[in-house]
Amino acid sequence: GQQVMQIPQYQHVQEGEDFTTYCNSSTTLSNIQWYKQRPGGHPVFLIQLVKSGEVKKQKRLTFQFGEAKKNSSLHITATQTTDVGTYFCAGRNSGNTPLVFGKGTRLSVIA
């Protein structure tokens, strides 16, 4: 079945450093979504990418969808303590298939 791998599992950064998490699918995806889960909270939708090679920005966050639609990345520039949490990617195959989540990358930011 479809698998979504995400690396790294954990990342500790100093405040102000950059952070990147990578997502790879075993199959071609129709779209990919990113979610953030704060400690003790529930996942909250950040963005959806649909097109091959698509790049979207939200302030300090940059999201990319690979040309082959099998990988994606989230890059945070100049991390802040408010960025702390676990970032999940989630992808769907073409067709009527469920959204499959990666295991997430837990980001810690040291002030």
The reply to whether 85 sits near other proteins by the rule CB under 8 A is no
The reply to whether 62 sits near other proteins by the rule CB under 8 A is no
> Which phi-psi region, left, alpha or beta, contains residue 6 (left: φ > 0; alpha: ψ -120 to 50)?
beta
Q: What is the CA 97 to chain-centroid distance, rounded?
A: 19
CB of 13 to other proteins, least distance (A): 21
Q: Is there a contact between 28 and 50 (Cβ–Cβ < 8 Å)?
A: no
Phi/psi of residue 97, each to 5°?
A: -120, 155
CB of 16 to other proteins, least distance (A): 28
The piece of 11-19, 55-63, 69-77, 98-106 that touches other proteins (CB under 8 A) is 98-106
Tokens 């989540």 belong to residue:
101
The reply to whether 100 sits near other proteins by the rule CB under 8 A is yes
The reply to whether 42 sits near other proteins by the rule CB under 8 A is yes
Pair of tokens at residue 66: 């690979």
Residues making contact with other proteins (CB under 8 A): 1, 30-31, 33, 35, 41-45, 48, 88, 90, 92, 94-104
